[in-house]
Structure 1
């Protein structure tokens, strides 16, 4: 199994002989910037078997950027399905928490999530390996219970920036580093990779709209304290990790 973080929450996951793309985001704007190098352009992506989308926010669902790949199946919750079909994606599989779909011998199961809008997370299983992809969810009790259903996790991909919306009374919509470390302790994956921590809303947006933590090292320290058996890997965009 191999994972390559393209940037933000967008990863290439190679598992069970299949290649999946998570939460595509390739188009940078003044108010939506991943805050880090985007490792690949769409035309440099390898052949894909599927694209997994957790929710409709632009930084996780940049569908306009990937319309050259309308032959690739999209897996998404109901809030994304209509737009994907309108853009010409030929196969759109609607999954809500508890639903599953298959790509050959790889099974993708939607699991619960909680964010500012409707969101699902995903468990991906293939060739005896199990991955949790957390999109940009908050930590909720249902996620702590995933090992009871899926067994041991080999890899967890978790958001950590604790994003808050200033105009909404600093409402938190993404788990922070400490909460993500707590979820790591509950899931007990062999390896955890943080994501969703460099994002910026632009200079004015960061001052007036969003507030976020950008310290992956703090997450690594918390995991070492709460889940010392789990290896933390801080992946630069474009650097593959083979497990």
Structure 2
């Protein structure tokens, strides 16, 4: 039996993706600071994470790259595929296997010691010995945010996932449909975050723009993220402006891409695709 494709929401854009019997973590965020609040529970802490086969980090903003908290993760040899400005930060946090991926660059991950799905096919259960870690391909995708960012397509076990970080809707994303014509799971930001001090500059795609992306890609399943974030009572009035209701995306996507199943999942909830 093939391993399931599944996603578990930790909080915000921090997600666990299970693909081909392997587990990846995206954009780790496990703490809070002044003006940085998930706006929803953090489902579990770093110590409670499962054994990870890789970590993907789209950019260096704290709410996507909480390396101070994630530095307590038990395995410093976990492969990390990151936007270029994250490399030295991750190494300073003690992680040894860190690599930058640039837009449209792909890599096939090598076997990670101590995890199931070894290259010799003798995995201890999570992959049933039928899937090898070097069969997992990760491709960086162009993005645009307030700072340099890349997003990621993950392929393995005959399944494809696109994790859109918190990018704006940019023309380069139209290339995804041609390069990856069958996407099983889309993980897409939806809050249309704007920065009030910068004349309401938009830095994240909106619910309607996320629906447009969904219409371009036509995934089997789409899950919104990056919507509950709050900069606090004062910050929400003076610094940021955002749409915190994921149902706005649900409604827009059902019109724009009626063939896609749209699901909102709570922190700690696991969705099998």
- Range into which the TM-score falls when normalised by the shorter chain: over 0.9
> Alpha-carbon deviations, 1:137-157, whole Å to 9, x = none?
000111122020112100000
Q: Partners of 2:23 and 2:236 in 1: how far apart?
A: 34
User: What is the aligned counterpart of 1:10 among 7, 14, 22?
Assistant: 14
Gaps spanning 5+ residues in structure 2: where? Answer: 110-132
Say whether 1:96 aligns with 2:126.
no
Gaps spanning 5+ residues in structure 1: where? Answer: none
> Alpha-carbon deviations, 1:4-47, whole Å to 9, x = none?
01010000001012110000000112311000011111000000
SS of the equivalent of 1:157 reads strand
Q: Partners of 2:107 and 2:95 in 1: how far apart?
A: 17
How many pairs are equivalent?
243
Q: Partners of 1:107 and 1:64 in 2: how far apart?
A: 28
Q: Partners of 1:101 and 1:67 in 2: how far apart?
A: 24
Say whether 1:197 aligns with 2:201.
no
Aligned-pair distance for 1:66? 1.3
Q: Partners of 1:4 and 1:41 in 2: how far apart?
A: 14
Q: Partners of 1:102 and 1:27 in 2: how far apart?
A: 31
What's the counterpart of residue 80 of structure 1?
86
User: In terms of mean alpha carbon deviation, does 96-105 or 56-65 score higher?
Assistant: 96-105
> Alpha-carbon deviations, 1:153-201, whole Å to 9, x = none?
0000000000000000000000000000000000100000000000000
What's the counterpart of residue 58 of structure 2?
54
Q: Partners of 1:214 and 1:113 in 2: how far apart?
A: 22
Tell me if structure 1 keeps the 8 A contact 2:6–2:18. yes
Q: TM-score by structure 1 length?
A: 0.98
SS of the equivalent of 1:40 reads coil
Say whether 1:40 aligns with 2:44.
yes
Q: TM-score by structure 2 length?
A: 0.87
Q: Partners of 2:174 and 2:241 in 1: how far apart?
A: 26
Say whether 1:138 aligns with 2:144.
no
Tell me if structure 1 keeps the 8 A contact 2:84–2:102. yes
Q: Partners of 2:29 and 2:90 in 1: how far apart?
A: 15
- Structure 1's consecutive aligned runs of 4 or more residues displaced over 6 angstroms after TM superposition are none
If you compute each CA radius of gyration, which structure gives the higher value, 1 or 2? 2
Say whether 1:187 aligns with 2:187.
no
SS of the equivalent of 2:223 reads strand
Aligned-pair distance for 1:73? 1.5
